Structure 1
Amino acid sequence: MSRSIRIATFNLESLDDTGDLSFEERAAVLRPQLERLDADILCLQEVNGQREAKGEPRTLRALNRLLEGGPYADFHRTSGGEGTKLADRHNLVLVSRWPILAARQYRHDLVPSPQVRMVTADPAQPGGDAVTWDRPVLHGEIELPGGRRLHVFNLHLRAPIAAPVPGQKKNASTWKSVGGWAEGFYLASIKRAGQALEARLAVERVFDADPQALILVAGDLNAEIEQTPVRIIRADLDETGNGHLAGRSLVPLERSVPEERRFTVLHGGDAVMLDHLLVSRALLGWFRSAEIHNEALGDELVAHATVSHSPESYHAPLVARFELPDQTVTETMAPGEPAP
């Protein structure tokens, strides 16, 4: 008998237990969403880190509080393996029912920081400046029932919002010139595409070791399916033009969802698909269905202008169901043990 597993991605929208909104108000909204996902593996974005005291390392206290007492309370968790330092904002976290055999972060490990000489900076910059990614790529290796290894890449790419340019902003939301804003937008596109390239090169390393690897890329990519960052990660056959590379393309699972339901964010009245689950061909063979839980989704632009201290996330979670083959489930059973 095969075994069903569920894998989900969810941007928790700056999960924290400090600030003006009480933690329990947020938890009352987020916990039912997590329970409904009924996931075996969770890819979470925007999990803030907290310090118990000044100078102490940050922990995932808010996330631990959110998950305690619920179905994920005893799951394994990682943000990148031993020695990883948590950021104050927007950490990536992998939560798994099954053991996480290895985990690491990629941040300029495979793609060096591009050097850009800014043309609108005021005062003018004497040389090139390094353009660095806002967040790393989190790679976890999970041991599935039966001993197969699943490679999960959890991402949160840069939003298409202009990055700062020295001397070109009056305040956090106001630019001094169109040229300055345009260069900031250009820098943001470099960051977002660069993060996607690093994720793709990390995926390539896995394929080099095992062409039939089980790979899933998940997260808030801040881009729709035909935009550059997602195209870099997908590596479709009609992009590479090489039939020998077809097995390395990644397939977006949202295509199985009816088009009218295919969105994870409402932005000024536009329904957009910014969160994705992309899988290797080997894992696609186990795929059965996908769901986007967007029934209660609010419009992020409207909410930011009209709602004070909203407890919601303005990203809908996306979950996919897979069926492990019979052999995968039974390989680890003792002789004579009945199938689950």
Structure 2
Amino acid sequence: MRLRLATFNLENLDDAPDLDPPLEARIAVLRPQLLRLDADVLCLQEIHGQRGPDKGPRRLLALDRLLEGTAYAGYHRVSTTSTGDHGDEPWVADLHNLVVLSRFPVAESHEVKAELVAVPTYRLTTAEPPAAEAEACAWDRPLLHVTLTLPNGHPLHVINLHLRAPTAAHVPGQKAGAFAWRSTAAWAEGYFLAGIKRTAQALEARLLVDRLLDAEPEALIAVMGDCNAEERETPLRILMCETADTGNGALAARSLVPLERSLPRDRRFSVIHKGRPVMLDHILVSRQLLGHFRRFEIHNETLSDETDPATHVEYATESYHAPLVAEFALP
């Protein structure tokens, strides 16, 4: 059986009357990219929620329009939800929802946030006015764990994640404008805070993987999404837990493998940042799933530089991320 797993950060997918470019322009570019993936399971990031004319619950209306007329429109769907109190019917968040679309039925789904990792506390050094005490250093987005039932009856565990970007977190009283900081010390502390948040998210994903392997040593696991980190950065090293880091060969079967390693180095990039190709999006798989791996693709032919002032806008027609797809042959 052929199995294709894909991930794509759609970059602020939204729909509003004054949106520039309008959703129709984005659909003309993004829908062919989704069709090219030909995915059985598709993880999406940065999917915004909208309220319809009836002012009912916030839903994924922009995504509905993007998927209209494609096979994905009929797929099983799981998304993250809003943390607010909206009564009996769950709402999606207004910004940056995670979505999993699957050809296969969903056996179980679970959002994980600060469940396996306690939120650390930290007292800011550079805040104005000075911080009186330590405060929670929480992160914004949960992980989305979805268990799918494959046609052969085996479970497939998919973890969709979007780790925090490595941009300095807020420090009270230390911004001189939208992007300008009042001091190098304040920017450094904000960047340190962002690192804590991103690393905690990666650790929670790793602990979730270990929990799954404890229960099912031969589990088929795929961790997919926008990690905002390259392979040798701390979040990826935490996710992979390679023997070179653990120093224990007996743990090798519990490591995750980044599938971009199957490509030549000059093809391993999903974003262009300040003229440099970087691999920030990843598909990492358990050793058991790796045994069925056949090929990997990064559709990065049309990427533009996410930092180029001539092309960068908050709502771009294209995504600044390339979609990834991995193909497997399962019994």
TM over 0.5, yes or no? yes
Structure 1 position 68 matched with structure 2 position 68: yes
The correspondence for 1:12, drawn from 10, 13, 22, is 10
1:41 paired residue number:
41
Q: Structure 2 vs 1, CA of residues 98 and 213 (structure 1 numbering), >3 Å: closer, same or farther? A: same
Q: Distance in 2 between matches of 1:127 and 1:218?
A: 37
1:126 paired residue number:
132
Q: Distance in 2 between matches of 1:267 and 1:176?
A: 25
- Residue 27 of structure 1, CA deviation: 0.3
Q: Distance in 2 between matches of 1:260 and 1:60?
A: 36
Q: Percent identity?
A: 58
Q: Indicate conservation of the 8 Å contact 1:263/1:274, yes or no.
A: yes
Q: Indicate conservation of the 8 Å contact 2:158/2:222, yes or no.
A: yes
Shifted more, 173-182 versus 52-61: the winner is: 52-61
What is the letter of the counterpart of residue 116 of structure 1? Answer: Y
Q: Indicate conservation of the 8 Å contact 1:7/1:42, yes or no.
A: yes
1:157 paired residue number:
163
What is the letter of the counterpart of residue 198 of structure 2? Answer: R
Q: Structure 2 vs 1, CA of residues 193 and 258 (structure 1 numbering), >3 Å: closer, same or farther? A: same
List per-residue Cα deviations over 1:173-211 (Å, max 9, x = no partner).
111111111100000000000000011111111011011
Q: Distance in 1 between matches of 2:247 and 2:306?
A: 39
Q: Distance in 1 between matches of 2:246 and 2:71?
A: 42
Q: Which runs of 5+ in 1 are unaligned?
A: 326-340
SS in 2 for 1:132: coil
Structure 1 position 284 matched with structure 2 position 294: no
What is the letter of the counterpart of residue 220 of structure 2? Answer: L
Structure 1 position 242 matched with structure 2 position 240: no
- Residue 299 of structure 1, CA deviation: 1.1
Q: Which aligned pairs between 1:214-225 and structure 2 lie closer than 5 A?
A: 214-225=220-231
Q: Which runs of 5+ in 2 are unaligned?
A: 82-87
- Residue 21 of structure 1, CA deviation: 1.9
What is the letter of the counterpart of residue 15 of structure 1? Answer: L
Q: Indicate conservation of the 8 Å contact 1:103/1:140, yes or no.
A: yes
Q: Which aligned pairs between 1:257-336 and structure 2 lie closer than 5 A?
A: 257-302=263-308, 304-306=309-311, 310-325=316-331
SS in 1 for 2:189: helix
2:202 paired residue number:
196
2:193 paired residue number:
187
Shifted more, 307-316 versus 5-14: the winner is: 307-316
- Residue 301 of structure 1, CA deviation: 1.1
TM-score (norm 1): 0.92
What is the letter of the counterpart of residue 236 of structure 2? Answer: V
2:85 paired residue number:
none
- Residue 85 of structure 1, CA deviation: 4.1
List per-residue Cα deviations over 1:35-62 (Å, max 9, x = no partner).
0000000010000111226974211111
Q: Indicate conservation of the 8 Å contact 2:305/2:311, yes or no.
A: no
What is the letter of the counterpart of residue 107 of structure 1? Answer: K
Shifted more, 41-50 versus 169-178: the winner is: 169-178
TM-score (norm 2): 0.94
Q: Indicate conservation of the 8 Å contact 2:80/2:92, yes or no.
A: no
- Aligned residue pairs: how many? 322
Shifted more, 81-90 versus 274-283: the winner is: 81-90
SS in 2 for 1:140: strand
SS in 1 for 2:65: helix
List per-residue Cα deviations over 1:287-336 (Å, max 9, x = no partner).
0000000111111111x4445653000100010000012xxxxxxxxxxx
List per-residue Cα deviations over 1:53-102 (Å, max 9, x = no partner).
69742111111111111121100010148975421111100000011111
Q: Distance in 1 between matches of 2:190 and 2:28?
A: 38
- Residue 238 of structure 1, CA deviation: 1.5
Q: Distance in 1 between matches of 2:227 and 2:316?
A: 23
Q: Distance in 1 between matches of 2:180 and 2:8?
A: 30
Q: Indicate conservation of the 8 Å contact 1:101/1:142, yes or no.
A: yes
List per-residue Cα deviations over 1:211-235 (Å, max 9, x = no partner).
1000000000000011000000001
Structure 1 position 94 matched with structure 2 position 92: no
Q: Structure 2 vs 1, CA of residues 313 and 306 (structure 1 numbering), >3 Å: closer, same or farther? A: closer
Q: Structure 2 vs 1, CA of residues 54 and 189 (structure 1 numbering), >3 Å: closer, same or farther? A: farther
Q: Indicate conservation of the 8 Å contact 2:2/2:327, yes or no.
A: yes
List per-residue Cα deviations over 1:125-166 (Å, max 9, x = no partner).
111010111211110001111110000000100111000001
